């Protein structure tokens, strides 16, 4: 059933994101074109200058819009599709409620990641490739060599772990939003406002938890100094435990509310 949920969730969201991505990339291309013909004194003319200015403004707006929309859709798909009127349909499907949460989470992660990739891609289109990209790649290689010197072949493992942890952080961030919305749903009035308040509360609680966690570890391990490969592995593991625990708590809290405390209007 999760596969079917994913199919419809992707359909419902792709129709919003794909056109936006396309327009963003097209405008990056247009701006790039202006910067090329700049040398042929097109931009010196008033018309050329204004056109280039407008197209740059549009591009920047689109870029900001992509990030705003990613966040708005992430919230809307949970709030409207599960806790709004559409919830009457979704929660009477023969599907476990944890699958609804997992479905929303996976699809949100896909879109956050692709928005990031498309934004990066648009910057690469916009900025003259020959200079900046080469320099960029050179810097990455230098950084890689540095790491290699320090950790040896373990650098590949560290790279993988970094990617994995980034996704785990992303997941826990999204689950925190879901948990806040679910908690806000328990209020009779001003549910959106309550959700916002709950988000702040959850953020504060997880920060307190982090401090306690870090302090208790600090007693027997100094994790600030990750000089060797072995120490880096301990640090990864400790961060992994922290993120997994809070993500699990948010997930279970959301699941509990959706299952036992649901009260659609």
Contacting positions for another protein (CB under 8 A) = 1, 4, 7-8, 12, 15, 81, 85-89, 91-96, 259-264
Q: Considering beta carbons, is residue 15 or 219 the nearer one to another protein?
A: 15
Closer residue to another protein in complex, CB, 86/221: 86
d(CA 20, CA 41): 31
| CA 188 vs CA 180, 193, 265: distances in Å | 15, 11, 10
Q: What gap in Å lies between CA 22 and CA 9, rounded to an integer?
A: 20
* Min dist. Cβ of residue 258 to another protein (A): 10
Q: How far is the CB of 117 from another protein (least distance, A)?
A: 24
Helices (H), the chain: 2-37, 46-83, 87-90, 97-126, 129-151, 154-185, 191-218, 229-260
Of 13, 7, 2, the closest CA to residue 72 belongs to 13
DSSP string covering 7-42:
HHHHHHHHHHHHHHHHHHHHHHHHHHHHHHHGGGTT
Q: Compute the CA torsion angle 76, 80, 81, 85 (nearest 10 deg).
A: -170
CB of 104 to another protein, least distance (A): 14
Q: Which is nearer to another protein, 221 or 265 (CB)?
A: 265
Q: How far is the CB of 93 from another protein (least distance, A)?
A: 5
Residue closer to another protein (CB basis): 97 or 206 = 97
Nearer to another protein, 35 or 76 (CB): 76
The residue behind tokens 């479905």 is 103
Measured from the CB atom, is 87 or 184 closer to another protein?
A: 87
Q: Count other Cβ atoms within 10 Å, centred on residue 176.
A: 22
Q: Nearest distance from residue 90's CB to another protein, in Å?
A: 8
Closest Cα to residue 154, out of 80, 221, 226, 255? 226
What six digits make up the tokens of 38? Answer: 């700049």
Q: What's the min distance (Å) between Cβ of 188 and another protein?
A: 8
Q: How far is the CB of 12 from another protein (least distance, A)?
A: 6
Of the candidates 115, 82, 56, 93, the one whose C-alpha atom is nearest the C-alpha of residue 191 is 82
- By C-beta, is 31 or 81 nearer to another protein? 81
């Amino acid at each position: 059933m999760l596969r079917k949920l994913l199919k419809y969730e992707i359909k419902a969201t792709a129709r919003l994101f794909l056109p936006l991505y396309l327009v963003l990339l097209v405008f990056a291309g247009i701006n790039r074109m202006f910067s090329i013909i700049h040398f042929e004194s097109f931009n010196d003319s008033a018309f050329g200058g204004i056109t280039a200015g407008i197209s740059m403004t549009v591009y920047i707006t689109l870029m900001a819009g992509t990030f705003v929309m990613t966040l708005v859709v992430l919230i809307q798909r949970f709030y409207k599709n599960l806790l709004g009127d559409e919830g009457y349909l979704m929660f009477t499907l023969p599907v476990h409620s944890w699958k609804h949460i997992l479905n929303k989470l996976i699809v949100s992660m896909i879109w956050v990641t692709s928005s990031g990739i498309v934004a990066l891609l648009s910057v690469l289109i916009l900025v003259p490739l020959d200079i900046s990209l080469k320099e960029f790649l050179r810097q990455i290689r230098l950084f890689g060599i540095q790491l290699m010197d320090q950790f040896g072949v373990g650098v590949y493992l560290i790279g993988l772990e970094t990617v994995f942890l980034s996704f785990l952080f992303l997941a826990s961030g999204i689950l925190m939003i879901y948990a806040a919305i679910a908690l806000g749903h328990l209020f009779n009035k001003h549910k959106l406002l309550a959700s916002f308040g709950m988000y702040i509360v959850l953020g504060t609680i997880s920060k307190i938890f982090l401090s306690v966690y870090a302090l208790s570890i600090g007693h027997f391990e100094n994790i600030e100094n990750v000089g060797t490969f072995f120490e880096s592995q301990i640090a990864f593991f400790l961060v992994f435990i922290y993120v997994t625990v809070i993500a699990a708590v948010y997930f279970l809290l959301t699941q509990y509310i959706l299952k036992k405390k649901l009260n659609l209007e």
